[in-house]
Amino acid sequence: MAGALEGVTILEVVRVGPAAFATMMLADMGAEVIKIETPPQAAVKGADFGTLTEKEAREAAYTLHNRNKRSIAINLKARDGQKLLHKMAARADVFVEGFRPGVMKRLGGDYETLRQINPRLVYCSLSGYGQAGPYRDFAGHDINYISLGGALNLIGEAGKLPTVPLNVIADYAGAALHGVVGILLALFAREKTGQGQFIDISYLDTVVYLAANWCAAPYFSRGKVIERGQTPYSGGYPYYAVYKAKDGKLLTIGCREPWLWANLCRALGREDFIPYATRPEHLGQAPDADYREVKRQLEEIFLTRTRDEWFDRLIKQDVCIGKVYSWDEVLADPHILYRQMLLEVPHPALGMLKQVGIPIKLSRNPGSVRRNGPYLGENTDEVMGELGYAAEAIERLRQENVIA
């Protein structure tokens, strides 16, 4: 069955994970994604399985954000390399780049150049601070974007330094997912107008957007600046927190709605705790002494059984409870396996390799993992042959260090 994006060709020129994750999502849904990578050094010829070590081959195959893609190694600093890029762009639907503003112009692959070649091209740039503004040229990473965007200040306990999360807020939930949405919107618009367009994704912008409900809304509505530990989701209130079990493992309780909190209290035989449900004023207020005492008593109760015992018991009582898993436990969970979030994909040299599954379940055009990640330049000759280059021309460009 054809993927939803079959027939869409995407060129990817990125060096960091979030932009590559965005194109992987599109590749999972059927798009043809060609990675344009930089040769490791000018004098090195293309590698094959005969020159790769098994470790290198495995690392390439297991690079999640490269799956379902082909790789071509082009020296974009060379004039002939830029000509090759232009020839590829003429046939492409989407171009994705993840550099600081100005880099692609120096490499001959900026939007103004490529849209002259292909007016239907959808061009997506993902950069830390966007294509314009005072911070345009600044360096940054997820921790910087979530601090400037107001999210980091709300993560963790009151009176302590913020807890630094994995780089999923700005990098993946922010830039990557918004990049995918932007590309799909632009492709949809192209169906009506026949024209491509430029998409400017700023990591910082996406953090501000994601954090708006907890940061901006209270400030706009009542001038309240929410501080760390002053939300129902900070872990300080007993109805939304992490607890330790008898076996030292952790569990989560997420009973924010009063009726779910009541279910938990009844299941624990502590109906006297039912009045300590969430209240509107908890947004902007740290837990008071009474709520802290309820949480302390719950901590003692949860120490009387193992994590899995509590889960099996409370989940049947319509309580929002979760196990705090290590990654090996995630991949052994029966529900996750049932949902096909663990797949095995054949590799020509390494046998069956495991891959994380696809979370977007389309009934008519489901996504698929068709190939493992390529090693650098694995598909150079193949892609260039499709562009009409003869073997002699490919070898000449290789000898001139334009490709690898």
Q: Catalogue the active-site residues.
A: 141, 171
170 with 207: CB under 8 angstroms? yes
Burial of 351 (0-12, 13-18, 19+ CB in 10 A): exposed
DSSP 268-307: TT-GGGTT----GGGTT----HHHHHHHHHHHHHHTTS-H
Residue (of 348, 278, 358) closest to 25 by Cα position: 358
Cα angle 349-354-355, degrees, rounded to a multiple of 5: 115
Check if the beta carbon of residue 385 is closer than 8 Å to that of residue 395. no
**Phi, psi for 151 (deg, rounded to 5):** -80, -45
Q: Which residues contact residue 198 at a Cβ distance below 8 angstroms, ignoring those fewer than 6 apart? A: 111, 115, 123, 125
| H or E, element range at 142 | helix 142-148
Within 8 A by CB and 6+ apart from 43, the residues are: 401
How far out from the chain centre does Cα 140 lie? 17
Distances (CA, A) of 394 to 32, 65, 79: 22, 28, 15
